[in-house]
Chain A
Amino acid sequence: MRFEGVWFRYARRAPWALRGAEATVEAGRTVVVLGPNGAGKSTLLQLAAGVLRPVRGAVRDRPAVVGWVPERFPAAQPFTAIGYLRAMAQVRGLPPAAADPWVERLGLAPHAGTALTDLSKGTAQKVGLAQALLAPPGLLVLDEPWEGLDAASRTLVPEIVAEVTGGGGAVLVSDHRGEIAGLPDAEHWLLTDGELRQAPEPCPSATAGRAAGEPPRAGERTAGEVAADDVVVEVVVRRHEADAAVVRLRASGHRVLGVRERSATAEEPR
């Protein structure tokens, strides 16, 4: 699927939310869209899913079956969890029973008969995840899929992503909390103020989560390799922004030497 010079704004006089996005998502690949709040991540994802139409440019070669998990599941509907998923299966042209395996797998069985309005945020998010997977998607678009999920359920997301990409599908996922550690082979796109940039090469992930004292990964140069005309700038960022910062620095042509816990920075300001 390709973004060809995609421009988007929500109203005629509104500022552009996305400016001239050019990018390709290969089948079988995972793309993580990074960026601060309000950078246009959800907009880009909705354009990819076909929820929004580009004002200029086009999104081409979108797979026939798209699964979209919105940032917030619309729980204000007069259905039970199982009733909703069965109805959505029928909307997709599947038998109602197609919903049942996902109810089991996502641990929704104890809440199957609960009204959507009475579900907790995390459980409602799982219903949102299940409806996107009823038909095996050629493109799966996940907007902050970890939001509201408990620790046990968080591992489900990388599992499902691996299954979709393993089946030849593409996955587009946004994240601002540094959960991408679970998606090791993902490509990274960076959105800032509606400008989309691709990280030059797939970044080694899990940088934000790496423990102090762990050796740098293969391919990363160590501090010893700093050339004579280089200077080393130490930067402190918030934990959840670490991945985005690394991607941004690399996208600007800088070399990131390593990421470490604050406790490891023994040196006091000189």
Chain B
Amino acid sequence: MIALARMRTAGFLRSGRALAPLVAVLVVLSVLHGGAASPPASAYGYSAAALFAVLAWITKLVLDTEPDVQRRLARVAVGGLREAAAGLLAAAVLGLGVCLLAMLAPIPFGGIRSPLPGSGEPSTAVGVLLGVLAHLLALLGALALGALSGRAVTRRVLPGVAVLVTGSVLTVVLGLRGSIAPWLAPPVMATARALSEGTAPAAGVLLGLAGWALLWCAAALALYARLRRGRS
């Protein structure tokens, strides 16, 4: 499985498909951190939310890079389950690279500031840790959405793009304050809000967000596995 994930990562990077999402990542990060400095938790919370759609797009690109027949050859070699898992693993590794870039991005821009004394804001270290958590939660949801929009599921190009765009838009719309069904989308917006409230969110809130993200991701990946079973 790891060898297949490595082969797919190499195939994606050599194909040149990484360029467009990389430009998108840089644009998002420079717009986010280029303005006034914010406390780290808030800055990272919104960076995770803004990168969600790009991370889902990267997942789709990684899964769609190899020709359909090559995907079937991989399936014959390692079995259906490990073939699907290797694709997600390759996308996760590349997604983690983007998250690392997002964590480092505020440094050259001077995009984060130390907590104001007496404001109750979390320390910079805690803020950075919260930022790491926010990016990981966004990556989980993005992997699942990207997988569902992959060609192995949608078979044709246009439905795949439709799933990706609709999913990304719904994640924002359903995540807005006062949404009627926030649980239909991964908690990307809810995490960003929780991290920008000034004080550090309570442990219970963080656990709730992590559980929500994990459950949503598990449900979406179960659907992915089910859809992949009948499709080669």
Binding site for B on A (CB under 8 A): 46, 49-53, 66-68, 70, 72-74, 76-79, 87-88, 90-93, 131
Dominant SS at the B interface?
helix
Neighbour of A72 across the interface among B15, B69, B75, B76, CB < 8 A: B69
Closest residue of B by beta carbon distance from A68: B76
Closest residue of A by beta carbon distance from B17: A78
Q: Are B77 and A51 in contact (CB under 8 A)?
A: no
Q: A46-B232, A53-B229, A91-B78 are in contact. Are A74 and B73 (CB under 8 A)?
A: yes
* Interface status of B214 (Cβ within 8 A of chain A): no
* Interface status of B117 (Cβ within 8 A of chain A): no
Report B213-232 CB contacts with A as 1/0, cut-off 8 Å.
Answer: 00000000000000001101
The complex places the Cα of A90 from the Cα of B69 at a distance, in Å, of: 18
Q: Are A50 and B4 in contact (CB under 8 A)?
A: no
Query: Among residues 63 to 99 in chain B, which have CB atoms less than 8 Å away from a CB atom of chain A?
Result: 66-70, 72-78, 80
Q: A46-B232, A91-B7 are in contact. Are A66 and B76 (CB under 8 A)?
A: yes
Q: A51-B72, A51-B75 are in contact. List 11 more A-B contacts (CB 8 A).
A: A52-B232, A53-B230, A68-B72, A74-B69, A76-B67, A77-B66, A79-B11, A87-B3, A88-B7, A91-B74, A92-B77
Residues of B within 8 A of A77 (CB): 11, 66-67, 70
Closest residue of A by beta carbon distance from B68: A74
The complex places the Cα of A90 from the Cα of B72 at a distance, in Å, of: 16
Neighbour of A88 across the interface among B14, B68, B77, CB < 8 A: B77
How many Å from the CB of B60 to the closest CB on chain A? 18
27 A-B pairs whose Cβ atoms sit less than 8 Å apart in the complex:
A46-B232, A49-B76, A50-B75, A50-B80, A51-B232, A53-B229, A67-B76, A68-B73, A68-B76, A70-B69, A73-B69, A74-B66, A74-B68, A77-B66, A77-B67, A77-B70, A78-B14, A79-B10, A79-B11, A87-B6, A87-B7, A88-B7, A90-B7, A91-B3, A91-B4, A91-B7, A93-B3
How many Å from the CB of B20 to the closest CB on chain A? 16
Q: Are A70 and B72 in contact (CB under 8 A)?
A: yes
- Closest CB pairs A-B (n = 6): A74-B67, A90-B3, A78-B14, A74-B69, A87-B7, A74-B70
Neighbour of A131 across the interface among B6, B11, B73, CB < 8 A: B73
Closest residue of B by beta carbon distance from A55: B230
The complex places the Cα of A67 from the Cα of B73 at a distance, in Å, of: 9
Q: A53-B230, A91-B4 are in contact. Are A78 and B75 (CB under 8 A)?
A: no
The complex places the Cα of A79 from the Cα of B232 at a distance, in Å, of: 23
The complex places the Cα of A109 from the Cα of B229 at a distance, in Å, of: 38
Binding site for A on B (CB under 8 A): 3-4, 6-7, 10-11, 14-15, 66-70, 72-78, 80, 229-230, 232
How many Å from the CB of B16 to the closest CB on chain A? 8
How many Å from the CB of B85 to the closest CB on chain A? 13
Residues of B within 8 A of A78 (CB): 11, 14-15
Residues of A within 8 A of B75 (CB): 50-51
How many Å from the CB of A148 to the closest CB on chain B? 15
The complex places the Cα of A219 from the Cα of B224 at a distance, in Å, of: 56
Residues of B within 8 A of A131 (CB): 73
Closest residue of B by beta carbon distance from A79: B11
The complex places the Cα of A90 from the Cα of B6 at a distance, in Å, of: 10
Residues of A within 8 A of B6 (CB): 87, 90
Q: Are B70 and A50 in contact (CB under 8 A)?
A: no
How many Å from the CB of B192 to the closest CB on chain A? 37
Residues of B within 8 A of A88 (CB): 7, 73, 77
The complex places the Cα of A70 from the Cα of B72 at a distance, in Å, of: 9
How many Å from the CB of A212 to the closest CB on chain B? 41
Closest residue of B by beta carbon distance from A141: B76
The complex places the Cα of A203 from the Cα of B7 at a distance, in Å, of: 44
Q: Are A91 and B77 in contact (CB under 8 A)?
A: yes
The complex places the Cα of A46 from the Cα of B231 at a distance, in Å, of: 12
In this complex, the member of B74, B75, B78 whose beta carbon has the largest number of chain A beta carbons within 10 angstroms is: B75
Closest residue of A by beta carbon distance from B15: A78
The complex places the Cα of A51 from the Cα of B77 at a distance, in Å, of: 10
Residues of A within 8 A of B10 (CB): 79, 87
The complex places the Cα of A131 from the Cα of B7 at a distance, in Å, of: 14
The complex places the Cα of A131 from the Cα of B4 at a distance, in Å, of: 14
Closest residue of B by beta carbon distance from A64: B79
The complex places the Cα of A208 from the Cα of B140 at a distance, in Å, of: 59
